[in-house]
Chain A
């Protein structure tokens, strides 16, 4: 660690990098706070997107253009988009509940969060203590992309493959749990459906909708058949049947029946 710090102290940071840092770092921090504090789930996700974009720019400025753009494409573009996809389906007005369900939940969360950060921090410091920084020039000697590719496919190829296998397992597992397979026998094809429609008991034409040729346009009012009797199957089984009030049952003012209005 001390060696790395010395190397850092010796090198001068370009002005452009400093300016970028002091503009984007406050934005990234503010958006990180906004993500935690925002009541609306979509706003929260958007704050996180801005923080991720800022991180991507930081990577680019620190001579890691590939990592920066991959951060933007993969995390911001794909993963956060999927989050947003789900959040939008939840409904736009569903705000976070403010009531504390478990007693002391917040304090516990703060303590545990701080503990995790400290654990990760000390772990990183201890692991990097003896590491000597080679510097960007040496790391990017053959080009940034080539250097990453070489490390990824030689030294870290096992870790890389294991991680991808883990992710694929997770994806397949989610598919297996969520996907409902219908047995082949249960599937009804277009031809079978049509045959059933034309068989005795079926109806080749579309069924009458509720309120059609009836005195009301309510979905609870059955359609009238040509002989004047109500067609019960025009009403959905879900809709509760109820008696209409005399006003509702009275003929409405249509073109041929104006006296119903008065």
Chain B
């Protein structure tokens, strides 16, 4: 395969080094999964004022290991109506896709490994970011086929929801990455990280200002849309509709047990780690050290960037857990409306705006042409704002209740207040006590005349 100049470091490793890198990525993902499960349970526990797992090992660190071992030795139950081949294939597809996607995430700069200069990244391509998108889109098959092959209603419903959700949010996610491609001028992950290395100089209203090179700052809308759609893409709360426990039992993996269930669980966490890793790579400067640390010149060389990368990854995982601990699950139609009617149009408008800014910033552009373009855009925006149809007034309600709070006169039922304001209690009003009520005061302590009895 022909490679661009920026990828010259790749493709020269001896076979043992490639094998070692594959193994390292595999072990990193497994360890991160075990850690992330513990981390999530501890953080959610902390947010809910309870300790979380704390029995196995120091701080309960070995809890997920124990859970994993228990899961392996559990009995495997396959439903009688299952389509056996597809039922077996589904978790395999999920797992393989989850592991593959991490191959293109850069962990660090070029280092020396046993005398070989090699980048801390398994593979890179001119279109490396597309590898992650391709893996996640194939990973949907695992979920959909699991739901279908189970031969059961709840998994099928979960699978349908999941496929619709992942396809919708993949569109938003793919579009949010476009802005990064436009700014970095490449689709290779290592080159995108390199493009974020230096602070950028921006000329704004004639003044030159220095802004950090991270795309999370330069391209804030893209970053926010990416993160929201990443939560949707990984089926995490508040977008965990495919496995909404209260509606669908367990979603697509209701009928799965033992190793196969573990595979789905593993894939879900690895997907979360991959999506966070891609977010770090695309928006948070990759393995580069954050600002105060960059004052020390050795921060971005050698093996140390591995620490910065992992720290950023854990920070993003914390946000995932934070969201889960804070937000209630969305309703399905609200969720789809957010994806298609909010994230997508905002994203498109932002990309067009960014392209416009890039054209205006071009130095070959004449000054008067630039002013004309800016004025034209401002006029169009003003027109849109003024001519935008105003929201319709809500129509007056028919058949409102009478002053006594009833609808339909004495035949109707007393109506609860529509504005959710609790009306003053009739008992609290100073009304004279009827003589008959005082005689029958023995049948209720709640009665206003109860204390007389």
Contacts and interface: CB of A to CB of B under 8 A. Distances in A.
A binds B: yes
A145 interface: yes
Interface stretch (B49-57, B140-148, B324-332, B379-387): B140-148
B137 A72 contact: yes
A194 B412 CA distance: 12
Interface stretch (B108-116, B128-136, B218-226, B301-309): B128-136
Nearest to A56: B134
Nearest to A88: B148
A200 B174 CA distance: 55
Given A66-B127, A199-B408, A204-B413, A137 B167 contact: no
Contacts of A89: 160
Contacts of A85: 144, 160, 163-164
A219 to B, nearest CB: 19
A42 B133 contact: no
A84 B408 contact: no
A232 to B, nearest CB: 21
A144 B147 CA distance: 38
Contacts of A78: 137, 167, 170
B140 A81 contact: yes
Interface in B91-129: 125-127
Given A84-B163, A85-B163, A60 B130 contact: no
Contacts of B2: 63, 136-137, 140, 144
B127 A145 contact: yes
B127 A69 contact: yes
B134 A92 contact: no
B411 interface: yes
B148 A42 contact: yes
Given A49-B141, A88-B148, A145-B187, A42 B86 contact: yes
B86 A88 contact: no
A253 interface: no
A70 to B, nearest CB: 7
Interface residues of A, number: 39
B415 interface: yes
B397 interface: yes
A195 B137 CA distance: 47
A84 B130 contact: no
Contacts of B147: 88
Contacts of A143: 4, 126
A110 B116 CA distance: 58
A89 B147 CA distance: 12
A145 to B, nearest CB: 6
A199 B137 contact: no
Contacts, number: 108
Interface string A150-181: 00000000000000000000000000000000
A73 B130 contact: yes
B413 A66 contact: no
A3 to B, nearest CB: 22
Given A77-B170, A195-B407, A204-B413, A84 B1 contact: no
Contacts of B407: 195, 198-199
B137 A77 contact: yes
Given A65-B1, A191-B397, A199-B407, A77 B140 contact: yes
A200 B412 contact: yes
B412 A198 contact: yes
B151 interface: yes
Given A61-B1, A88-B148, A199-B408, A81 B130 contact: no
A46 B86 contact: yes
A204 B137 CA distance: 48
Interface of B: 1-2, 4, 83, 86, 125-127, 130-131, 133-134, 137-138, 140-141, 144-145, 147-148, 151, 156, 159-160, 163-164, 167, 170, 174, 187, 397-401, 407-409, 411-413, 415, 418
26 contacts: A42-B83, A46-B86, A66-B130, A69-B130, A69-B131, A73-B130, A73-B134, A76-B137, A77-B134, A77-B167, A81-B144, A81-B163, A84-B141, A84-B148, A85-B160, A85-B163, A88-B147, A92-B83, A143-B126, A144-B127, A145-B127, A194-B418, A195-B401, A198-B407, A198-B408, A200-B409
Interface of A: 40, 42-43, 46, 49, 53, 60-61, 63, 65-66, 69-70, 72-73, 76-78, 81-82, 84-85, 88-89, 92, 136-137, 140, 143-145, 191-192, 194-195, 198-200, 204
Given A42-B83, A195-B400, 7 more contacts: A42-B86, A61-B1, A65-B126, A69-B133, A72-B134, A195-B397, A198-B413
Q: Which 5 residue pairs across A and B have the least CB separation, nearest first?
A: A77-B137, A69-B130, A200-B408, A200-B411, A72-B134
